[in-house]
Copies of this chain bind each other. A is one copy, B any other.
Amino acid sequence: MTAYTATVTVRLKRGVLDPEAETTKRALERLGFDLDGLRSADRFELDLDAASEDDAAERADEMAERLLANPTIHDYTVEVTERE
């Protein structure tokens, strides 16, 4: 077994309203920053032991499907790196 960190990034699907991002963008503009757009996402870093990188990715994928993301409104990506 090798130690891996799987990073799951959960984003709202295109077209889903994101009032939090809209508010953050407006607050930045009020501070004088010029922005074309702002998207927010949640990032989960999962430490797990797995037989291979593929195995770790598969398990992270399953965790995203089951709990971390809501398939109705979210897309997600999984990235796996080895951990020292």
Contacts and interface: CB of A to CB of B under 8 A. Distances in A.
B68 A31 contact: no
Interface string A32-71: 0111111111111111110000000001001100111000
Interface string A10-40: 0000000000010010011001011111111
A40 B40 CA distance: 13
A46 to B, nearest CB: 6
A9 B3 CA distance: 23
B45 A39 contact: yes
A77 to B, nearest CB: 11
Interface of A: 3, 9, 21, 24, 27-28, 31, 33-49, 59, 62-63, 66-68
